[in-house]
Structure formats: C-alpha cells, structure tokens
C-alpha cells in the first residue's frame, strides 16, 4: 500500500512521540519533549498562516498569552474548569483575530505583520500592567487540569512529566492531523493559490480576503491552545509568554524547519526548543547563535532545513 504524504507525516510524528521515551536517560527529557510539542502546536498554526497562505504574523505570542491567561484567570474568577478555560481562551483569540484581521487582510503585503506586531505587544503590555488581575510581571499561578488524577483513579498512574509528555504529544498529533486535512481542503487549496499570486487566485473566483482571514483565525486558535497547554503544564505563567521575542521565536521555528510542511515546522520547533538546553554552557552566545542561524537558513535554505535536507538526500538517491 502506498501512503500519502499526510499519512506519512502523521505516522512519522506518532512514531517519534511514542518511541522517543525509550531513549530518555532521565525524566527531564519528558519535560523538554512536552515543551517541543507545545511549541510545535503553535508552529503548526504558523504553517497554516505562513506556509500555506504566505502571510506573516509578528504577534502570535499575543494569542498564546490570551490562551495562557484564560487558563489562569477563568478558573479563579469565573469558576470555569481549566479545560473550558482553554476553550474560552481559544474563542477569545479567534474573535480577536477575526476583528483585527478583517480590515487588515483586505490589504496586501506586510501590513498583517505590522498589525499583528502591534496587537501582540498591546496584549503583552496589558498582561504586564494590569497587575490587579494578572499578577503583573511576576506572573500568576494556574489551576490544575485534573486529568492526571482522573487517569490515576482509572488505574493509569503517570508521573507529572510523563503525563504532560503524552498529553501534549496527543494534542500535537491532533493539531497536525487537522492542519494536514486543511492542506487538501478547498480552503487549503485557496490559501496555497493566493500564496502564489493573489491576483491569479482572485481571477479563479477565490475570496482572497476571506481565505486569508480564515488562516489567520485558525492559526490564532492554535497559538492560544498552545499557550493554554503551556500554562496548565507549568501551573504558572508570566507575561513573557505574550512577548515580542516569543512571537519571533514562533515564526523562526516554522521558517527554520520549513514553513511549507507541518513536519518541517515541528522539526524547527524541536531544534529551537533544544538549542537553549544544549547551549546552557554557552548562554552568553545564545542570541548570537539564534540570529546567525536565522540569517543563514533564510539565505541558503529558503525552504527551511527539513525540506532542503530531504531534497539533498533524494537528489543523491536518484
């Protein structure tokens, strides 16, 4: 049987998530793994926006911040279950993306980058300044999701890091599956068409503004859910989650690994999440390295690391 690219991607991803723990020397690696999955989820959203539709957002961390603080604030103030708070955060992010995206996405070019940049920074600023509710720059505690206790009562006793590894891994798989389905749906085709040429897309009857708006809203929801998962996992969150640098990291992860493919982008998330862990010895050089990697990959491997490497391998094989 010949597997489609979608099935291959999901299979490879599932295998990596399931098999990696056999090589983990300590429980610390579960933690790094779940961080990669959380970032991977946000980056999968970026694939939809940047890889499919060719739009760039420099403020997606703002949506991650909304998701994260929804999980911190809604259970404490509204009495919502954390899982519902995640949904609430995603809904708020989606609506906000819709309201901001609607006027902006009728325009072409880098306007979305600018608008999202402003939006993201405003969210981060509000989170840091409204300390009467958000706890300010020092951060705030987040309620327990409670799922681990439920699993334990069913006889499945996982350590905290193991549970979050499995849970975020599953979330990433679902996110990747949805994004891959979107790729071949009418909306996905419309997005890829307008990526090539907006005018050409319009002449074949695609509502360009609407398609771009859909991509922006969907990717905002991905970022929001990723922020929620991060908050629930850490049980603590600071406004840094919404910061400008986090937005830049998201885009860099996607573009570094290969924004055109879900697997590539998640690969990028893996590399950039591990880089600081590996470079702790060279903490001084972290920024220098990050900047250098960003420039080199963009200059020499425009498709991103994974697609470029794959092409190299295939080229050799033939």
Partner 1 sequence: MPELMQFLLSGVTVGAVYALVALGFTIIYNASDVVNFAQGEFVMLGGMVTVFAHHAGLPLPLAALIAILSTAGIGVALNKLAIEPARGAPVVSLIIITIGASIFIRGVTQLVFDKQLHRFPAFSGDEPIRVLGATILPQSLWVIAGAVAVFVGLWLFFTRTLIGRAVLATSNNRLAARLVGINTGWVMTLSFALSAGIGALAGVLVTPITLVSYDVGIALALKGFAAAMLGGMGNPKGALVGGILLGLLEALTAGYVSSQYKDAAAFVVILAVLFAMPQGLFGKKSTDRV
The residues of the shown chain that bind partner 1, judged by CB under 8 A, are 50, 54, 56, 58, 100, 103-104, 107-111, 113-115, 117-119, 121-122, 125, 129, 199, 244, 248, 251-252, 255, 259, 284-295, 298-299, 302
State in angstroms the smallest separation of the CB of 240 from partner 1.
Answer: 14
State in angstroms the smallest separation of the CB of 114 from partner 1.
Answer: 6
State in angstroms the smallest separation of the CB of 256 from partner 1.
Answer: 9
- 235, 234, 231, 272: which is closest to 63 by C-alpha? 231
State both tokens at 259. Answer: 């924004």
CB-based contacts of 130: which residues, under 8 Å, 6+ apart?
A: 136
Is 128 or 231 the residue whose CB approaches partner 1 more closely?
128
Is 82 or 101 the residue whose CB approaches partner 1 more closely?
101
Q: Judge contact between 246 and 240, C-beta under 8 A.
A: yes
Length of the chain: 318
140 in helix, strand or coil?
A: strand
Is 108 or 311 the residue whose CB approaches partner 1 more closely?
108
Is 146 or 291 the residue whose CB approaches partner 1 more closely?
291
Is 103 or 146 the residue whose CB approaches partner 1 more closely?
103
State in angstroms the smallest separation of the CB of 126 from partner 1.
Answer: 8
CB-based contacts of 181: which residues, under 8 Å, 6+ apart?
A: 6
State in angstroms the smallest separation of the CB of 21 from partner 1.
Answer: 33
State in angstroms the smallest separation of the CB of 157 from partner 1.
Answer: 43
Residue 54 CA to residue 131 CA, distance in Å, equals: 37
Distances (CA, A) of 311 to 12, 102, 244, 265, 308: 18, 38, 33, 16, 5
Is 95 or 199 the residue whose CB approaches partner 1 more closely?
199
Beta bridge partners of 242: none
241 in helix, strand or coil?
A: helix
């Amino acid at each position: 049987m010949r597997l489609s690219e979608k099935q291959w991607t999901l299979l490879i991803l599932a295998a990596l998530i399931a098999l990696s723990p056999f090589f983990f020397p300590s429980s610390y690696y579960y933690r790094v793994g779940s961080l990669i999955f959380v970032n991977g989820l946000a980056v999968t959203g970026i694939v939809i926006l940047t890889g499919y539709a060719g739009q760039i957002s420099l403020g997606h961390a703002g949506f991650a911040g909304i998701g994260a603080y929804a999980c911190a604030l809604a259970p404490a103030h509204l009495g919502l279950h954390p899982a519902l708070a995640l949904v609430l955060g995603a809904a708020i992010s989606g609506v906000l993306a819709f309201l901001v995206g609607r006027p902006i996405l009728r325009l072409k070019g880098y306007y979305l980058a600018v608008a999202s940049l402003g939006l993201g920074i405003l969210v981060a600023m509000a989170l840091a300044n409204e300390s009467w509710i958000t706890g300010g720059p020092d951060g705030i505690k987040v309620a327990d999701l409670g799922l681990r206790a439920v699993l334990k009562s069913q006889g499945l006793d996982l350590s905290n890091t193991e549970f979050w590894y499995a849970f975020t891994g599953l979330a990433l798989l679902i996110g990747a599956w949805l994004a891959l389905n979107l790729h071949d749906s009418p909306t996905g085709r419309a997005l890829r068409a307008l990526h090539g040429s907006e005018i050409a897309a319009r002449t074949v009857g695609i509502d360009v503004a609407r398609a771009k708006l859909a991509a922006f809203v969907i990717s905002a929801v991905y970022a929001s859910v990723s922020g929620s998962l991060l908050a629930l996992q850490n049980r603590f969150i600071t406004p840094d989650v919404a910061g400008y640098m986090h937005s830049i990291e998201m885009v860099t992860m996607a573009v570094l690994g290969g924004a055109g493919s879900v697997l590539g982008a998640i690969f990028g998330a893996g590399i950039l999440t591990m880089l600081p862990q590996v470079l702790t010895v060279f903490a001084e050089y972290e920024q220098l390295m990050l900047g250098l990697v960003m420039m080199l990959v963009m200059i020499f491997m425009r498709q991103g690391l994974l697609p470029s490497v794959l092409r190299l391998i295939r080229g050799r094989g033939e």
